[in-house]
Amino acid sequence: MRITLKTALLLGALLGTNLVAVESVYAAPKKKSKPVVQKKLVKKASVASSEQLQESRRLAVQSSAALVIEQGGSEALYQKNADLVVPIASITKLMTAMVVLDSVPDLQAPITVTDEDVDYLRGSRSRLHVGSVITRETALLLALMSSENRAANALGRHYPGGLSAFIAAMNRKAASLGMTNSHFEDPTGLTSNNVSTAYDLAKMVGAAHQYPLIREFSTTSDAQVEVSGRLLDYRNTNPLVKSSTWDVGLSKTGYIHEAGKCLVMQARVADKPVVIVLLDSAGKLTRVGDANRIKRWMESASAVRRHSTHA
């Protein structure tokens, strides 16, 4: 016997039973409505898409100057003060490495660290003591991986024609790459007179990425090298090169007071090869934090595009 809604309401009042519960027990079964279910699903998908879109548009980069550009492209995916001319610190060493390799030197030839390589400007430390002998290849590795200043300066001194010829070659190389707002005065970046823009540095990173040895050495996470008969452990100054969530093809960090914390990378993010430039980051972890924020932002935007394509 079917119980009417009126009877159900009366029973509910007498028994103190919840109306919804009474309806679910006593009301006549309703026909399934597929359109209603589909409409709810579409609504949920629409909300999710909206949230992804909002997330993809939010990017709070803390570095004073920044640029994200598709490798080989000219249109910025993100930029912030990308035309500002600023000191670049040890990002310089990418140019140093290119100029060294352009001279097609004997990489196994020994070079000696002298007092001329000691940093009397900043007083930076080094485990390459005066008199240390290393190969040119080892000097390149230490300069790119661990940002070793004495190694970088020694490379410049051992260039044909000496340090002055090396610095001239650095500026010629910059001009040939179209780095019109860049200038170099030393191979290390210890001087604040080594300046560039985020846009110019993206060109430099793109060029440096064409050198297999620079790609290899700049992304080596750690190495043990022999220096004058001693085994020394060195680590990469960029922790992201050994992160399982990153696919880094080239990396270089830098720091002096005038430049702040700097980081340039070539990496594959959201299935896209990009160049990331971060300059004048305040705080020890800001440049790494900015890089991770950019990565999440790009991945979120990619997810939105995929959703739009499949919708």
Enumerate the active-site residues.
90, 93, 147
Rounded CA-CA distance 70/202 in Å is 10
Burial class (CB in 10 A: 0-12, 13-18, 19+), 271: exposed
Rounded (5°) CA angle 293-90-123: 125
**7-34 exposure pattern, b = at least 16 Cβ within 10 A, e = fewer:** ebeeebeeeeeeeeebeeebeeeeeeee
Q: DSSP for 92-157?
A: HHHHHHHHHHHT---TTSEEE--GGGS-TTT----SS-TT-EEEHHHHHHHHHHS--HHHHHHHHH
Q: DSSP for 211-236?
A: -HHHHHHHT--EEEEEETTEEEEEE-
Cα 101 to Cα 79, 236, 253, distances in angstroms: 31, 21, 20
**108-119 exposure pattern, b = at least 16 Cβ within 10 A, e = fewer:** eeebebeeebbe
142: nearest Cα among 210, 211, 90, 196: 90
Report which DSSP code applies to 273.
E
